[in-house]
Structure 1
Amino acid sequence: MKSPAISPTTVLAEGAAWLLAAVFAYTAVSKVYDWSGTLRAVKGQVFQDWMTVPLLYGLPILEISLAVMLLLPKTRRAALGISFILMAVFTGYVALVLTGIFGRIPCSCGGILSSLDWNEHLIVNLVLTAIAAIGWIVQSHLTKLKQPNPL
């Protein structure tokens, strides 16, 4: 029996989802694994002190939740949209850091990005933001194709 062909758009949407899921899962696990380093990194940012605890606990929870949602077909479209928004916010923050608006360069993030400077961090974030946007657009198109025609 011949298996059905998988369309390139399906591969693109699923590839984006799996890549983002891997990135979010890795960053969440690395934050939890190096909890004291994560605490130092969050405290080293330009945020108000009251934001430390919500960011410290909230980011890994959000990242793991998104990773799971990205892997589930029923939640993939929403997760890609949320991923785009989250990556756009992260990218905007990095861009603001690079403008010097905060008066100082905060310490870098943990995990794989700890070895990158802020310019390289911006490039990685821009690429991931684009992947999330493309994945969301393609997944939205695929979702529309699967919906029954009301006429």
Structure 2
Amino acid sequence: MNTKTLYLDIAIRVLFVALYTYTAAMKLLDFPVYRIKMRRQHFFEPLKEWLVWGVPIAELLVATGLILPFLVAAPRLRRAGLVGNLMLISGFTLYTGLAASGIFGYVPCSCGGFLEGMGWWVHFLFNLVFTALAAVGVWLQRDMIRGADVSPSVCGRFSG
């Protein structure tokens, strides 16, 4: 991974760690209001209470997964954190797209912080941009993974 790629990878990770930490903190700091808004979402009733706790926990776990490989020097975990990130933001983007299309009727935004002030279409576009960034983050790891899978003995066979 060259220097520019590494800096872009770090910038994407920092951006998502900040986003997820911020939104999870906003949800947990104003938990009673967040819980009411989540209970008004259009999910199966038994799933709602799981999501009340699951969404901020998932955000914090993904944020941790994005920085943990650097803290414990585990380069193979770098891609896993980014794939988890892409899955989480893709789920949020799908939901905001459905909410923006009006398929659910009125739904309050339970995202927390400044995201709640966005309209659904603006929120959907915001999430699309972040989904694209998450996809770029996964794509950037391709060279690192390929390089990590090649051992010196294999390289020696191919060198003249």
TM-score, normalised to structure 1, is 0.88
What is the Cα-based RMSD across aligned positions, in Å? 1.5
1:37 deviates by: 1.4
What is the identity, as a one-letter code, of the residue corresponding to 1:143? Answer: I
The 2-side partners of 1:120 and 1:99 are apart by 12
Deviation at 1:80, TM superposition (A): 0.8
> Are 2:148 and 1:146 aligned?
yes
The residue number in structure 2 matching 1:3 is none
Cα deviation for residue 82 of structure 1 reads 1.0
CA distance in 2, matches of 1:15, 1:143: 19
Structure with the larger helix share: 2
Q: After superposition, give the CA deviation of every residue in 1:102-121 in whole Å (9 maximum; x if it has no partner).
A: 2x120112222111110110
Please identify runs of 4+ aligned residues in structure 1 that moved more than 4 A. Answer: none
Q: How much has 1:77 moved relative to structure 2?
A: 1.2
Distance (Å, rounded) in 2 between the aligned partners of 1:70 and 1:122: 23
CA distance in 2, matches of 1:63, 1:133: 17
How far has the Cα of 1:50 moved from its partner?
1.2
Partner in structure 1 of residue 64 of structure 2: 68
Deviation at 1:143, TM superposition (A): 2.8
2:82 to 69, 72, 80: 80
In the alignment, which residue of structure 2 is the partner of 1:101?
Answer: 103
CA offsets per residue over residues 19-57 of structure 1, 9 Å max, x none? 111111111111110101110110121112211210011
CA drift at 1:62: 1.1
User: How far off its partner does 1:123 sit?
Assistant: 1.1
Does residue 52 (structure 1) correspond to residue 48 (structure 2)? The answer is yes
Unaligned 5+ segments in structure 2 are 155-160
- What is the CA–CA distance in structure 2 between the aligned matches of 1:24 and 1:144, rounded to whole Å? 29
2:35 corresponds in structure 1 to 39
Cα deviation per residue 1:48-70 (whole Å; 9 max; x = unaligned)?
A: 22112100111111111111110
Secondary structure of 2:81's counterpart equals helix
Asked if structure 2 preserves the Cα contact closer than 8 Å seen for 1:70 and 1:76, the reply is yes
Number of aligned residues: 145
**In the alignment, is the contact (CA less than 8 A) between 1:98 and 1:105 conserved in 2?**
no
Residue of structure 2 aligned with 1:136, choices 109, 113, 138: 138
